[in-house]
Amino acid sequence: MKVEKVDRRVKYTKYMLKEALVALIREQHISTISVKALCEKADINRSTFYVHYSDPYDLLNQIKNEVLANVMLYLKEQDQDPTGSNFQLTTILEYAKKNSELFETLFSENCDYVFQDDILELSQIISSQYNMDMDETAKKYLKEFGTSGCISVFERWLQDGAKESPEYISEFLKKALQGGIMCFKNPE
Amino acid sequence: MKVEKVDRRVKYTKYMLKEALVALIREQHISTISVKALCEKADINRSTFYVHYSDPYDLLNQIKNEVLANVMLYLKEQDQDPTGSNFQLTTILEYAKKNSELFETLFSENCDYVFQDDILELSQIISSQYNMDMDETAKKYLKEFGTSGCISVFERWLQDGAKESPEYISEFLKKALQGGIMCFKNPE
DNA sequence: TTGTAATCCAACATTATGTCTATTATAATG
DNA sequence: CATTATAATAGACATAATGTTGGATTACAA
């Protein structure tokens, strides 16, 4: 892994643009945010923006990748394998709670569901932990039901200030998933 | 109820614009559709568009309202009370299947989730049919889990060509909802 | 047929976009 | 510290969509 040294000016520019975009997303939908307004908020020249990003969506995607990378890093710090299937959901929720303001913003409607897609993958890892011995159609829809349910509860939790503990939400989701599964399982 | 007679020209204009918008939404996200392109597709003058709508989102909203009105009408035709809590979910699914191409489009990502919000209300009516005797927090999250799960399964069903019968999906959703609820219910 | 009203057409100022170049400011390096 | 490299800026530019307007044209309803 090569350690590319980044010019401090570049760091500054990108930092300001990211902060500005997140701030704007708190107020309006990403699709309505113009490059002009964004650069004014960040106090960065518009031409400079185009050196680094093609449009606000591009910037948002880069923010997303960083956030996800940080989540993975956190999982590793807690000695958990992000690719394995038996990591603790609680740990992710923990991290989200620590950064709940940012997460709430990024999971809001104003982000055009840029983040949901990736969380979907995570959710699928989680749901794959369960033994789902049932017919294929039921399995398909149950996965759909479970993953979207999980994401939605997660978002609601953030929206309401992440008051409950990560453990509570984690337990809730496990129970809810199990509950649905039990109803469709074939007798063994 | 006054019967306002509508000029045939107006009918024509609105019809063409609606068709054009739906066609465009099949291909691209609503936020990227310009008034110019829309009017060209519909072969309607751009100034005329502004007489009737403020922007493509406005038009989409009016389409939404019509579709929902038609659903309600269909429910009434089937002698079901749309405001009551014990109407058949199957009937709605039936109607969606009959118009599955349109519904698939309108529930796609390209519509910026304009339709999801209203379906949420419907879903809440459905979930209110259940006796949820449990603590308030669990109830809150379980409702979230259930409604979003239902919507998601519904969308998936449409996306995959609505192959299963309305009865199958209806039964599936009922079972899945019940399953989650059973896990959290207080002993009576 | 006739008055009404909806559509069309052309023009307009305004605004954001994306690109480019010369200039200035800052960082990295010896 | 002085020099070199490069990032950011300011400004200009063509392009394109927006939203509005006034007047000509056309289709409708009665």
Q: What confidence tens digit (pLDDT) does each residue in A101-119 have?
A: 999 999 999 999 999 988 8
Radius of gyration of chain A from its Cα atoms, rounded to whole angstroms: 19
Q: Return positions of chain D under 7 A from a protein CB.
A: 6-12, 16-22, 27-30
| Amino acid at residue number A142 | L
For A107-137, b/e burial (b = at least 16 CB within 10 A) is bbebbbbbbbeebeebbeebbeebebeeeee
Cα nearest neighbour of B150 on chain A:
A145
CA closest to C28 C1', residue? A7
Which ranges in B78-129 belong to alpha helices (H)? Answer: 89-98, 100-106, 116-127
pLDDT in tens, B106-156: 999 999 999 998 888 777 777 777 777 888 999 999 999 999 999 999 999
Superfamily of domain A8-184, CATH level 4: Tetracycline Repressor, domain 2 (1.10.357.10)
Task: Please report the sign of the dihedral spanned by the C-alpha atoms of residue B76, residue B82, residue B85, residue B91.
Answer: positive
pLDDT in tens, B70-90: 999 998 898 776 655 556 789
- φ/ψ region of A44 (left if φ > 0, alpha if ψ in -120 to 50, else beta) reads beta
**How far does the CA of A32 sit from the C1' of D27, in Å?**
39
What DSSP letter does each residue of chain A carry, written as one string?
---PPPPHHHHHHHHHHHHHHHHHHTTS-GGG--HHHHHHHHT--HHHHHHH-SSHHHHHHHHHHHHHHHHHHHHHHTT--SSSS-S-HHHHHHHHHHTHHHHHHHTSGGGTTTTHHHHHHHHHHHHTTS---S-HHHHHHHHHHHHHHHHHHHHHHHHTT--S-HHHHHHHHHHHHHHHHHHHPPP-
Q: Return positions of chain C under 7 A from a protein CB.
A: 5-11, 15-21, 26-29
Cβ of B152 and A175 within 8 Å? no
pLDDT at residue A13 in the model: 98
How many CB pairs lie under 8 A apart between chains A and B? 86
Boundaries of every domain in chain B: 8-184
Which of the residues in chain A have pLDDT under 70? 1-4, 81-87, 186-188
| Amino acid at residue number A76 | K
Cβ of A149 and B144 within 8 Å? yes
Q: What number is the average pLDDT over the span B171-188?
A: 82
pLDDT confidence of B1, banded at 50, 70, 90?
A: low
CB B71 within 8 A of CB B92: yes
B65 strand D contact, CB < 7 Å: no
- φ/ψ region of A43 (left if φ > 0, alpha if ψ in -120 to 50, else beta) reads left
Residue A45: count other Cβ atoms within 10 Å of its Cβ: 11
Q: Which two tokens stand for residue A67?
A: 């956030």
CB A52 within 8 A of CB A12: no
Q: What number is the average pLDDT over the span B100-105?
A: 97
Cβ of A179 and B175 within 8 Å? no
Q: Which two tokens stand for residue A108?
A: 């809001």
Give the Cα separation of A141 and B141 in Å (integer): 20
Q: Is the per-residue pLDDT at B187 higher than 70? A: no
Q: Is the per-residue pLDDT at B58 higher than 60? A: yes
pLDDT in tens, B2-47: 567 899 999 999 999 999 999 999 999 999 999 999 999 999 999 9
CB B87 within 8 A of CB B75: yes
